[in-house]
Structure 1
């Protein structure tokens, strides 16, 4: 029996050596050719791919470098941002980005989150929190909203609690598509699959903060605690 097993093993091994193999492909060369073709296209085609023209794309890459985004040994900042914009702009999965940029799914996911963390640093430059103290016209906009408190005798005591307010916070449930095994966590008290979103805005209806991604079963107080951390 042992001799028969050895003979069978050697036969299978010899046959495996004779099987035709796929031709070798230089993935680094094909990746460089693809990136060169992407970045050398016209503004219209570049906008179709990344939802952004070439000049703003280069400006964004330069700005993200100041927020900690650096070139890696094999992945430049431009390619990292291109992976991020392609995923966000077209709602692609990792396997699509892996096919387009000749990278593994793990690499695409890693650099997607790196660029996402760098983009979060843009909050201080992009969002201006309008307050009563830094906006001379804010008082005029807020005053009509508080007329109810000013002219109501019953609620006159509440005016002192709201007179220095600069905005309002509320939550809303947005329908979500999640895998079946995770639907229990996203089911709210109305038996709908949603995510609980916390939003803050000024009294002239300008959004200043959005916290998304929490399950529909999460309590509003848990979201407020997470937003204040």
Structure 2
């Protein structure tokens, strides 16, 4: 993807009006169950039941039928989910890649089908709002079934949430909450994590709120990843 300037919808400080994004490569689709199965076969320490709790919570790959068996709830060509940030990072590094930064991911995701930045396109905004309003699916669909964006990237919206390398830098981290805060509620009630900032870009608001609730060992049924370099 070409370099460019990205205007974050929720800047970290008043002075952060534009971010320079250098040219980078981003996987065209999220990492699939089949991809990740190959990884855990080659790297036994990342198999379900063998990964220390420090690096993945008990939900890690729980939707698979077994440590090396996908089963009916995890289609081979669907995005792998129930993976922690640590597992996603290890996978990308095994491929000579890395997780995308938040700015890189948002830069790519701001593109519509025909514009590098479609955030002011009413039709694109409407499509995103409809996607983010949909209820989650028990069985996640295969990748690349919808049209790619301007950069040729698939499924940045509407299929799964995705890990980014610097998720801890988003607004306020999971470790910054007051004691007793309900973690599951924080992951779905985005308004709680913002001290300020506009909400005109509702899909971006949801993404930033979601990321700010995460911890590196978290795994969720609708949270996957893709790699960059």
| TM-score normalised over the length of structure 1 | 0.24
Greater RCO structure (CA 8 Å; 6+ sep): 2
Greater share of strand residues, 1 or 2? 1
| TM-score normalised over the length of structure 2 | 0.24
Q: Larger Cα Rg: Structure 1 or Structure 2?
A: 1
